[in-house]
Every structure is written in C-alpha cells, then in structure tokens.
Amino acid sequence: MSNPEAQGFKKISEETQSKPAQTNPYGPNPADFLSNVSKFQLIESTLREGEQFSNAFFSTEKKIEIAKALDDFGVDYIELTSPVASEQSRADCEAICKLGLKAKILTHIRCHMDDARVAVETGVDGVDVVIGTSSFLREYSHGKDMTYITNAAVEVIEFVKSHGIEIRFSSEDSFRSDIVDLLNIYKTVDKIGVNRVGIADTVGGANPRQVYDLVRTLKSVVHCDIECHFHNDTGCAIANAYTALEAGAKLIDVSVLGIGERNGITPLGGLMARMIAADREYVLSKYKLHKLRDLENLVAEAVQVNIPFNNPITGFCAFTHKAGIHSKAILANPSTYEILNPSDFGLTRYIHFAHRLTGWNAIKTRVDQLNLHLSDTQVKEVTAKIKKLADIRQLNIDDVDSIIKDYHADVQTPVVAPVADTKVDSLDISEEPETKKQKTA
Amino acid sequence: MSNPEAQGFKKISEETQSKPAQTNPYGPNPADFLSNVSKFQLIESTLREGEQFSNAFFSTEKKIEIAKALDDFGVDYIELTSPVASEQSRADCEAICKLGLKAKILTHIRCHMDDARVAVETGVDGVDVVIGTSSFLREYSHGKDMTYITNAAVEVIEFVKSHGIEIRFSSEDSFRSDIVDLLNIYKTVDKIGVNRVGIADTVGGANPRQVYDLVRTLKSVVHCDIECHFHNDTGCAIANAYTALEAGAKLIDVSVLGIGERNGITPLGGLMARMIAADREYVLSKYKLHKLRDLENLVAEAVQVNIPFNNPITGFCAFTHKAGIHSKAILANPSTYEILNPSDFGLTRYIHFAHRLTGWNAIKTRVDQLNLHLSDTQVKEVTAKIKKLADIRQLNIDDVDSIIKDYHADVQTPVVAPVADTKVDSLDISEEPETKKQKTA
C-alpha cells in the first residue's frame, strides 16, 4: 500500500484540479425551511463515546493531545467521559478544562444528582445528561418509570443551570421510546430552559426518513436546539446525521474515525465529506480540513487500529480512479467523477493506469508526463500492449513505463547497429527482456 | 486484536441471546406503499465494480472462487467486467457463465453496438448497459447529445433483447442529469421493453431524501423494475440503498466490502445489517448470513486489504460492549443495546470488562463464570479495585481474574499460616505482587 506512485498510480498536475460546478445539486433542499445544513455545529466525543471503544485506553497526556488537536481542527464542543467513571476520569476532565481551548468543554453524565454534583465542580462549560427512555432500558437498565425520569431530569437540570453552565437533556434509545413519553419530557425540559435536547439512536437501527420525521416533530414541540447522536451498526450514521440537520437539528455528535461502543458513531471525517458536498463554503470557513488526516492518524495510533481502506477522504484509494472510461473524463475535468476536491483536504488525486481496465487517455497522459511524443494511434497501440500484459499479471508503474519507453524507442528510432557503451536514459535494462517478450507475444 | 478473550472480553452464554421485540420500529414504513424493503434483490458487482478497486487483480481461478462463494451466499445476480475490457475479461466471463450457478450472470457494457455484439456471445443471462447522461459526462466523457444517446440505447436494447436475454439500461451520474432528459429516456427504453432501468450515483454525492424523490418520480414513469447503484464518497451508500427500496426500487448493486472505484459502493455486509434490522425473516430466508465473514475474508485477501476495524457485523468490535451501564443492560437483555443478533451471522457478543468504565454487573457475571461466590456488596468492592488499577494502566482478562480470585480468597478464607508446597489453582503467582499492591493501595 506504501507509495502509490510505485504501484502504478500517477499524481495529477495542479492545472487539472476540480473546477466547481455552476450549481450544486447536492446542496441544501430549499423546501427544508428549518434546515441547519449550512449552520450545523459539532459535538466531538472521541474523549467520551470514543473512550467506550473496545481498544481505547487514553492516558492523560494522550487526552490532552487529542483535545488540543480537536480544538485546532475547529470543533465547537469537546465531550469528555463522566467524572464519576473513575478518579482519573475526573482529574483528566479538570485538566482539560484548564487548557483554555476555544471549544467548549462538556461532560456526559447519568441523570442523577450524585453525578451532577461532581460534574459542575470540574470546570466544564456544560453538562450533557442522558437517561434511557425506551421500554427496553426502563425495564433492563435503570428500572424507572417516566414520572421518576421527569422528576430526576428537572432536579438535575435546575441544579446545573444554577451553576450558570450549559445543560443538555437527552433520551437514550429514542427511536424505540414511546413518542408521547418522549415529546412530554422534551417539552417539560424545554420549558425549564435546557440549552438543547438530544435524540440518540443508541442501538444504531434508525433510518434516514425515520430520523427526519422524529426531528421535524420534535422541532415543533421545543424552542431549544436539537442535538443528534447516531450509532453506525446498520451503516447509516452519516446519512442520519445529514437528514437530521435537514429536518432542523443543529448539533451532531461525532468522533474521530467514529470510534465508540460496538462499531461506533458518525465519524468526523465522513460527516465532513457529507457536509462539504452540501455546503463547501461553510465547512471550509469553520474547520481545518487539511488537518483531518493527522487527526485521524493520531487517534488511530492511540487506539491501535488502521485507517480503514475505504475510509471517506483519507482511505488510501478515496481519490484513486481506475477504469479507463473514468480516467479519461477525470483528466478532462475532475468534477466528472468527483464530488469532493482532494486539495480541500490537503490530498491529491491519482489515476491508476497499470491494469487491464486502463484506457488510452490515461496512457496518453503518462506518455506526456514521460516527455515522449506519440500519435493517438500509437498511444492506442501501446495501450493494447499494456492491457495484454496486465491480463497476465499485476503491473506496477515501472512495467508500464518500460513498455511505453521501449515502444517509443522502437517507433522513433531507425534500426541501426548497436553502438558499444551507449546507455539508454531512464530505461531499466533489467526490465528489457520482459518488454521484448511482450512485444513479440 | 487477536483473541478477544485474552484482552479482557468475555463470551456471553447462549441463554442471554437476544429475544425479539414485540414490534419492530425499524421495519418497513407502512406509508411506503411502493416499498420493496421486504422483497429486494441483490446485483453483486465484486467482479465488475470491485475489479475497478485500486488494489484488485483477480486471476481466473480467484474470479471463479468468488463467483461460487457469492452464489452460495445467495445473491440474485452476479455482474462481471465487460468482455471488451480485455481478452482475459472475455474468457473469464465465458468461464463463469459455464459454471451453472443459481445466480444469474450479467455483464456490464458501454451503450455501444461493438460492446453489445461481444457481450451477447459470452453466454450471460443479461447485459447491463450504461451511458453518462449528466452534462459533465456528455461534455467530458463521450461528447454525445441526448438524441444520440437515445438512438444508441434503442439500438443496443433491441439487439440484446433479440438474443432472448435480460437487458438493463442505466444512466450514469443520474443525480447531476437533467430530470426531463432522464425521464424521457427512461420512458422510451421502458416502452421498448427493458427488464429494468438503473439510477447511478456515480460520484457518491446523493443524499437519502434526494434518492427517495428521484426513485418515486421514476416509479411513476416506468413499469419495469428499478435498480440503484450508490458510491460511498460521502458515506451514504447504505442509507441511500435503503431509502431507494422504500421508494420502490427493487434491486441494489453491492460488492463485498464495498470495493470499487475510489472508496467504493454499497457494501454487501453493511446492506445486510441494514436490511435485517428492517425485515429479519426475509433476509434470513434468502441469504446465508453465517457465510458473510468467510466471503469478506476471501475478497479482502484477494485484494490485500484488512477488514476495517469498524466494519458493520464483522468488524472486530461490532458486538463488543464496554461501558458499565451498557454491559449491565446487555446482560439482562441483549436487545437493549443491540439491533442485530450476532448469532444470525454465526458470531458472538462480548462484554469488555477489563477497563475503568466497567461496572459491577459485568464483574458479577465474570465472578459467576469463575464459579466463585461473592455478595453484591463484595462484587462492588472488587469492582472498585479493578477500576482503580484500570485508571493506571491497560488491563487484560488475566489481571482482572487475578484481582477477583485474590479478593475471593481473602474474603472466604480465614487467615492461616501458609503450608509449604501448596499451590493455589488457576492463579498465576507472578501476578500476585501487583494484586497485593493494588489491595493495599
């Protein structure tokens, strides 16, 4: 995977970088008059939800390093593990509050006065309160009824507010909760002045249109902001986040690479890909996208995972084009097969041309890069040779370059007797026999 | 990552496997009267779109092995690279057609008679025709206008039909195509009798509600089936596929692990996760889900990638629960924090308990597994000890077991003088000092 150049990819020159389309068919839907697609905020939860990822063990130093990197990237809020989870969790929370970051610091607690009393003493800018409202969680987790939940919520919220910091109230497993129970409790907490209410797809089963409906309904009940938290068990966490914003939610919970319980939540990078396709200007004005790759590498290393091969934006092949028909159009205008511009992320696109699906347009560009001159007919001929060898075995860029150079030498030079001690520039002699065999095959 | 048991995870016994909920809030929306969520089909494209993945080079033998595995899994169609891509591509296509698989074999060609003539001679059950209809592709790829495209389509379709095999007509980059152009050409090809029309989000920029609208509109124009193809550049390929089915599309293009151009398309496994949450009975009746992991490993090895850590279903932590509050409820009823049942996929869930977020319910279960007897108060006490050590360093299962066994020995056994040559069973002596230190800390 190492160096793409070595594997038969080529870097595209700056001149062919994407030109923006006249109109954006992927922009905010004008019919969504409550949409926050162009004014969303991020609650970054790598240091809370992410700590619930199977492999996560963050030292204090690592937490501080990650918090600083998130702040530098531009996230609006940083959410931390509950200070009652362990002694060190509390100490780390206090330490991060003292860093003086631009991002607001939140901590995430159960809907319980014991937790709230500890939380408000840590120096956080806000407290995120959560309680299970589904029949599943009411039966198998805390065993409380809705009256108890409401009373507990009111007590905790008023206590936190009395300390002059932000407060969010969220249900857990919202999509399997009774809608009347949900709206009742959200309406109650909205009235006593929470800063935002949260919807959580705790089991990761919600689908986009279901999300849209619930957020729209909730939006008609409360005046405060709506925050959403989506798990990714069924692969919809990014789409659900986007659809929630369309419906009027304002804040999305994310974590770097999506790390969290099970296979995690909406990933920061994936959501950036989604949002920049909708409103490039807003995203570029708020977030340092060119730092995404470093941020992902930092967290991946801390929790000992690899960046997934198919990760949005930073996956090794996210901007690699292969089929001949794709390469041809990308060379003419990258927007033909790209909705994202790699340079927005400090990355580069590659055309992969050393394979049997390659086309003569990709090879022609390579011929130009090698500073050789062949007619279109000649390029088509050498492309046929490349495809023939690529049918037999995997090729790398050196193989292709040798075939091209050899062919070029052949068609340009009149046949003369070889002169002793003359070397052909830029041609690896060791590869000649293979290329020769190819030519006579 | 190796063995989860060794890292402080525990396997949950069969008795606590998920009990299905009475109703399914994630099932098909009854308002979607055209929905195919409960009768969708799969067009598996690992051997076409997947061959366009950067790392893919499939030998004939590997293609046959993958085709057989896909057929065994139960996919409805297998799509192969165009026979005009290369000599070997044609030979491989013919070879796979001769295997006598249950799945129908398709090949994917440009909308061109040269390609169609070769395709119909390979022995395929159907031909998938595609042409770029967006202004981008019309300008930078093939350079043809809509009249030319329509005429070419009609000629190719009638030719393929005359050979008595299935034919699909798809636009490319459908979401950036003029809606009037699109509906016109779909209406025309529907009238002359295509088996299905295809919508393709070639650049991966579409969002779910946009997909729903286009499919619903198209559904009112054509009588044939609708197939959808979604790239994953902005992370919505699974959600878009689901939403397309809700709107009335019938067939979804997938590939194993989603491999394809750039970061790929809707992944087979991820779509299975999505669909089983909606209609478990239908999915289990059609597809051998317990073979998913082997199928993914086969393809991952062939294209030299790792299964992403956060892959739906088969990611190493997809069924791992960590936070104390989650573990408690999962132990009481797995449905509280799981929308998918791991046993449907031949997999097992794990509770990760060797960390500072652990809770006493998880530890109590471990105590029971070790066949030790402690009161709830005692379990809480030993849990506090475990959390304290977990604040200092990363723990594994042996650390936790040692702490538990040591504590148990301490509270159960009256202090007596040590007897020479007596060994304590199942207790690694080398870990004693640490545990002792912990107890006196």
Per-residue pLDDT reduced to its tens digit, B68-80:
999 999 999 999 9
Residues in chain A: 441
Q: Which tokens sit at A144?
A: 């409380």
Locate B385 and state its tokens: 């000890």
For B24-45, letters b (16+ CB in 10 Å) and e give eebebeeebeebbbeebbbbbb
Q: What is the CA radius of gyration of chain A?
A: 28
Say if the Cβ atoms of A312 and B141 lie within 8 Å.
no
**In this structure, how many other beta carbons lie within 10 angstroms of the beta carbon of residue A23?**
8
Check pLDDT > 90 for residue A55: no
pLDDT at B325: 76
- Which one of B136, B243, B393 has the shortest CB-CB distance to A336? B136
Please, are residues A71 and A78 in contact by the beta-carbon 8 Å criterion?
A: yes
- The length of chain B in residues reads 441
Q: Which residues of A touch B174 (CB under 8 A)?
A: none
Q: Of the candidates B16, B11, B36, B5, which has an alpha carbon nearest to the alpha carbon of residue B225? A: B36
What does the block give as tokens for B352? 């990760």
In order of A191, B49, B269, B300, the CA distances from B256 in angstroms are 49, 10, 7, 8
For chains A and B, count residue pairs whose Cβ atoms are closer than 8 Å.
304
Window 178-237 of A, Cβ < 8 Å to B:
202-210, 212, 232-236
Nearest neighbour of A323 by CB, restricted to B261, B328, B387: B261
β-strands A350-352, B9-11 pairing: unpaired
Query: What average pLDDT does this structure show over A191-197?
Result: 97
- Does the beta-carbon distance from B52 to A322 stay under 8 Å? yes
Helix (H) or strand (E) segment spanning residue A408: helix A397-412
Q: E strands along A147-205, which residues?
A: 166-172, 196-201
* Residue B29 tokens, joined: 């929306």
Given an 8 Å threshold on Cβ–Cβ distance, is B322 in contact with A54?
Answer: yes
Contacts of A352 in chain B (CB under 8 A): 54
pLDDT of residue B254: 98
Q: Closest Cα partner for A188 from A152, A138, A228?
A: A152
Phi, psi of A327 (to 5 degrees): -60, -40
Average pLDDT value for chain A: 87
Query: Does the pLDDT at position A22 exceed 50?
Result: no
Q: pTM to 2 decimals?
A: 0.86
**Which residue from B316, B394, B317 is spatially nearest to B356, judged by alpha carbons?**
B394
User: Which residue would you say has higher pLDDT here, A51 or A28?
Assistant: A51
Distance of CA B37 to the CA centre of its chain: 16
User: Is A355–B317 a contact, with Cβ atoms under 8 angstroms apart?
Assistant: no
pLDDT at A424 over 80: no
Cβ distance of A323 and B240 shorter than 8 Å: no
* Per-residue pLDDT at B17: 43
Contact B339/A at CB under 8 A: yes
Label the pairing between strands A350-352 and A9-11: antiparallel
Write out the H or E segment, with its range, that includes residue A79: strand A77-80
* Residue the block writes with tokens 């002169």: A419
Closest in A54, A243, A278 to B320, CB measured: A54
Tell me, what's the pLDDT at B24? 82
Per-residue model confidence as pLDDT tens digits over A274-333: 999 999 999 999 999 999 999 999 999 999 998 999 999 999 889 988 887 778 888 888
Q: Answer yes or no: is pLDDT of A251 > 60.
A: yes
Residue A416's pLDDT band (cuts 50, 70, 90):
low
- CA-to-CA separations, B362 to B8, B340, B397, in angstroms, rounded: 11, 21, 12
Whether B73 and B292 have beta carbons less than 8 Å apart is answered as yes
Q: How far apart are CA A332 and CA B139, in angstroms?
A: 9
Which residues of chain B fall below pLDDT 70?
1-23, 413-441
Task: Report which residue type is found at B374.
Answer: L
Considering only residues A303 and A14, tell me which one the structure prediction assigns the higher pLDDT: A303
- Count of Cβ atoms closer than 10 Å to residue B95 Cβ: 16
Query: Checking phi first, is residue B143 left (phi over 0); if not, alpha (psi -120 to 50) or beta?
Result: left
Phi, psi of B54 (to 5 degrees): -40, -50
Residue B118 burial (C-beta neighbours within 10 Å; 0-12, 13-18, 19+): middle
> What CA–CA distances, in Å, run from B297 to A124, B115, B242, B273, B283?
45, 33, 25, 17, 21
Question: Distances in Å between the alpha carbon of A209 and those of A47, A243, A289, B102, B246?
Answer: 30, 8, 29, 35, 9
Query: Is A233 within 8 Å of B318 when comparing Cβ atoms?
Result: yes
A167 contacts A127 by C-beta, under 8 angstroms: yes
**Eight-class DSSP state of B13:** P
Tell me what pLDDT residue B2 has. Answer: 44
pLDDT of residue B140: 78
Residue A328 has a pLDDT of 81
CB crowding A421-438: b at 16 or more within 10 Å, else e: eeeeeebeeebeeebeeb
Encoded amino acid at A380, one letter: K
Type of residue found at B325? I
Where does the pLDDT of residue A415 fall: very low under 50, low under 70, confident under 90, or very high at 90 and above? Answer: low
Name B44's bridge partners.
B78, B254
Q: Which helix (H) or strand (E) holds A367?
A: helix A360-369
Residue B110: which H helix or E strand, with range? Answer: strand B104-110
Q: b or e along A298-313 (b: 16 or more beta carbons within 10 Å of the residue's beta carbon)?
A: bbbebbebebbbbbbb
Q: How far apart are the first and last CA of chain B?
A: 31
Torsion of CA B371, B373, B374, B375, to 10 degrees: 130
Q: Which residues of A touch B392 (CB under 8 A)?
A: 88
Chain A residues whose CB is inside 8 A of the B299 CB are none
**Angstrom distance (rounded) from CA A25 to CA A34:** 19
CA quadruple A257, A262, A265, A270: dihedral positive or negative?
A: positive
- CB count, 10 Å around CB of A228? 29
Q: What phi and psi values does residue B342 have, to the nearest 5 degrees?
A: -55, -30
Interface subset of B 419-438, CB within 8 angstroms of A: none
Put simply, the answer to whether B209 touches A246 (Cβ < 8 Å) is yes
- Between CA B81 and CA B89 the distance in angstroms is 7
Estimate the share of chain A in helix, then strand, then coil, as percent rounded to the nearest 5. 50, 15, 40
- For residue B306, the chain A residues in CB contact (below 8 A) are 306, 309
Please name the amino acid found at residue B118. V
Question: Does the pLDDT at position A423 exceed 70?
Answer: no
pLDDT greater than 80 at residue A433: no
3-state SS class at A321: strand
| Chain B residue whose CA is closest to A242 | B207
Q: Does residue A326 carry a catalytic annotation?
A: yes
Q: Which residue has the tokens 């030790």?
A: B372
B419-439 per-residue burial string, b: 16 or more CB within 10 A, e: under 16 = eeeeeeeebeeebeeebeebe
Q: In angstroms, rounded to a whole number, what is the distance separating the alpha carbons of residues A131 and A139?
A: 13
Taking alpha carbons only, the member of B320, B295, B301, B302 closest to residue B310 is B320
DSSP state of B57: -
Contact B318, B352 (CB under 8 A): no
Worst-scoring range by mean pLDDT, A49-53, A110-114, A331-335, B207-211? A331-335
Nearest-angstrom CA–CA distance, B60 and B90: 11
Reading across the β-sheet that carries B9-11, which strands appear in turn?
B9-11, B350-352, B320-321
